Amino acid sequence: MDLITGLLMVAPLLVVIVGVMGAPLLQAVSLSLTDKRIGLPGTFVGWGNYGRLVHDPLFWLAVRNSFLFAFGAVALKLLAGFGLALVLNEELPWRGLWRAIILLPWAVPELVAALTWRWMYSDTNGIINALLLRAGLIEFPVPWLGSPQTALAGVVLINVWKGVPFFTFSLLGGLQVIDAELYEAAAIDGAGWASQVRHIVLPALAPVMVIASLLSTIWTFNDFTTIFVTTGGGPAYATTTVPILTYEKAFWNLELGYAVATSLAAAPVFIGLIVLATRLFAGRER
């Protein structure tokens, strides 16, 4: 009886979710099974688009770039966020001000952040090259976003700058619920700061770290604005990720069916991450 009551209570929400998310998803799946082009009728091709993806080297390059971009950025955000959380958890003068400053990158709109960083990276009037030239660290301006060797690292840095506040405040919240008596007991036993971090802080923050990393991985993998505005996927496809490739196939090549298939090919990764995050959330609530 309780199960039936619970199902009746969530039924309206389920209807909304199915209508808002389920119907478009089914339409996307059906579209991916056709050779639909923008402005032209499509015919059913079955798994033909997915077969093309398997043999498309550009798709696998985009997958590689997506994983390098997502996991590289998330790893750096986790490390930087953890360090900043430890610092901001201390009794610092003007601590509220420092916390507000750390939060600023998260508050800046993605388009504004991308345009600003594109100017900063510029090899003609960018501030990064200007400072490095003045310091004597380089002899000539470096095309940070115009070189295949540095472009991907450049957009990773932008994403890290934008996403560090999320990790910082997520981990800071976890730090503030750790019982102070644990630190006192560890200090009495002779444990230093590094030992306290290893045996008290890291175990306590492990669930927060995992969940924050999973959420950030999903968001970073789908980051379109940063790369599109700064590099457009270039140079020489060095920063072409799955979202960028989907856009190119849909709006440059006009292959809408193939573009949708490209996007849906990454769905198993997201589904796995979402299921894992959901289980972790459920485990923490028990």
* CA 174/CA 191 separation, integer angstroms: 21
Specify whether the CB–CB gap between 123 and 142 falls below 8 A.
Answer: yes
pLDDT score, position 281: 63
Q: What is the mean pLDDT of the chain?
A: 88
pLDDT exceeds cutoff 90 at 274: no
DSSP three-state, residue 37: strand
Q: Which residue has the higher pLDDT, 229 or 8?
A: 229
Q: Is 94 left (phi over 0), alpha (psi -120 to 50) or beta?
A: left
**In this structure, what token pair is assigned to residue 22?**
């389920």
Give 262's pLDDT tier (boundaries 50, 70, 90): very high
**pLDDT, tens digit, for every residue of 138-148?**
899 999 999 99
Give 282's pLDDT tier (boundaries 50, 70, 90): low
Q: Count of CB atoms within 10 A of residue 79's CB?
A: 13
Specify whether the CB–CB gap between 255 and 37 falls below 8 A.
Answer: yes
Query: What is the average per-residue pLDDT within 65-84?
Result: 96
Provide the whole-model pTM.
0.88
pLDDT exceeds cutoff 80 at 273: no
Q: Count of CB atoms within 10 A of residue 246's CB?
A: 21
**pLDDT, tens digit, for every residue of 103-153?**
999 999 999 999 999 999 998 889 999 999 999 998 999 999 999 999 999
* CA 110/CA 172 separation, integer angstroms: 24
